[in-house]
Amino acid sequence: MYQGWTIFDRLYILNGTVYVVTDSPDSIPERSRMISTAVQIKNGPVAEAARIPGDKEMQIISTNDALKLFGMEADRLDGVTWFANDPKQFVTHYYHWSAELFFGFWRTYSSLDPSIPPSGETHLPSPRRMIFPHIDAANWRDYAAMNQWVLRAAFPSVSMEFMNDWKERTEMGRPFVLDRVVFADRAAAMHGELFLRTQRTAANAFALPGSVNWWSTIRNNVVGFAGLDDHDGAVAIQGVASRPVITYISRQGWGRRMLIPEHHERLVEELNNLRDTYGYEVNIVEMDKLSRIEQFQLAGRTTIMMGVHGNGLTALLWMRPTPRSTVMEFFFPEGFAHDYEYTTRALGMVHYGFWNDRHFTRPDVPSVNYPEGFQGNRIPIDGAAVARLCRERLTLAEEADD
């Protein structure tokens, strides 16, 4: 367990309350580090107090008390359950679904197999079900229709239960016991030190042991579902692309958070010069203009991904980590957010933030800041500086490979 991400074996549920049965209660963390009331997350002491769990949410009881409460039997839900004790608030967003909820679930669960190889093969059984007790069945998908693709591609056989299903189980008045549960709670995760450092709830799970290839199981399932075979074409399973692929995810038709038009045009010109001079493959795309399969396939082949801070960069999840793999994120000067910087590093790749002609990377990243202009349409970028860094990253990687 680690702050908002907990693995339970034989977790009991009765009348909508979660029961942890143990004769060593001192070994169990404080409830607020595991579960919350799942109300909408807002700022301020009143809102924080409203999230503190009570006996209705969770109880920690002894085996003798469990026998008295449940009797000699409980209805078993076999296999592995992923239990998301979150409000709708963040679920209906591609980044938060894939790079926070799925990220945290799998990083926590995969800690049980710290030897996952690059192929993603694991002895861990796929989750049998996901339970969302505070979300209705019509409100978990995102506007780009990516959430369902990620779920069905990663785990084709998984079933889902929502608030009405949870209500039905509650009203039955029967105890249920879940074989193994990965339990996620966003509000509980917000107490974690790693969350406080990164503002990413999934960060807490990285305190657990795990393979450097932990994400490859999900990534390979998703790009494979989209029809990309890494054994075909330019990418070797243990190597790097013989022909690097640069993908610029443009937001110029989006209407918010866009580059200065002339700077966009210069960036495209500089990237095409790299293509013509060095033979790199260069893609200038607007993700919403591509099909879901095209998005996954392109991301899975990409060596360097770049773009203005925004949802399109969530595609970095499907890149294959290699010595060359790089994400370049364009911010309005003095602005910064951890979202894609943290996610890139968590996958073992290199992230660079850009303020026009200046770039920065870990450990010299700025503090989170949203200055006036951060969400605007006059974000500057020096295309020549971006092209130089692309060439530097690819050249250094070539030297490392030699």
Report pLDDT digits (tens) over 334-378. Answer: 999 999 999 999 999 999 999 999 999 999 999 999 999 999 999
Confidence of residue 196 (pLDDT cuts 50, 70, 90): confident
Q: Which residue has the tokens 């694991």?
A: 122
pLDDT of 319 higher than 70 = yes
358-360 and 350-355: which strand pairing? Answer: antiparallel
Confidence of residue 93 (pLDDT cuts 50, 70, 90): very high
Q: Which CATH architecture has domain 230-396?
A: 3-Layer(aba) Sandwich (3.40)
pLDDT of 224 higher than 50 = yes
Confidence of residue 54 (pLDDT cuts 50, 70, 90): very high
Residue ranges, CATH 3.40.50.720, the chain: 230-396
Confidence of residue 242 (pLDDT cuts 50, 70, 90): confident
Per-residue pLDDT at 193? 85
What's the first-to-final CA gap in the chain, in angstroms? 42
Confidence of residue 397 (pLDDT cuts 50, 70, 90): low
Averaged pLDDT for residues 87-106: 94
Per-residue pLDDT at 402? 43
Per-residue pLDDT at 1? 64
Report pLDDT digits (tens) over 26-51. Answer: 999 999 999 999 999 999 999 999 99
pLDDT of 241 higher than 60 = no
Per-residue pLDDT at 232? 43
**Backbone phi, then psi, for 304, in 5-degree steps?**
-125, 120
Quick one: 359 exposed, middle or buried, by C-beta within 10 A (0-12, 13-18, 19+)?
Answer: middle
Please tell me the distance from the alpha carbon of residue 353 to that of residue 335, in angstroms, as a whole number: 10
Query: In the chain, what percentage of residues exceed pLDDT 90?
Result: 88
Per-residue pLDDT at 292? 94
Per-residue pLDDT at 198? 86
pTM of the predicted protein model: 0.92
Please tell me the distance from the alpha carbon of residue 134 to that of residue 89, in angstroms, as a whole number: 10
Q: How far is CA 205 from CA 37, 44, 230, in A?
A: 21, 25, 28
Confidence of residue 333 (pLDDT cuts 50, 70, 90): very high
pLDDT of 151 higher than 80 = yes
Per-residue pLDDT at 399? 52
Closest among 109, 100, 58 to 82, alpha carbons compared? 109
Cα 150 to the center of its chain, rounded Å: 11
Q: Exposed e or buried b for every residue in 82-97, given b needs 16+ CB within 10 A?
A: bbbbbbebbbebbbbb
pLDDT of 237 higher than 50 = no
Amino acid at the residue 157: S
Per-residue pLDDT at 194? 84
pLDDT of 172 higher than 60 = yes
Residue 48, CA atoms < 13 Å, CB-side half-sphere: 6
Q: How far is CA 228 from CA 117, 239, 319, in A?
A: 19, 16, 12
pLDDT of 98 higher than 90 = yes
Query: In the chain, what percentage of residues exceed pLDDT 70?
Result: 95
Report pLDDT digits (tens) over 12-29. Answer: 999 999 999 999 999 999
Per-residue pLDDT at 153? 96
Averaged pLDDT for residues 43-64: 96
Averaged pLDDT for residues 141-163: 95
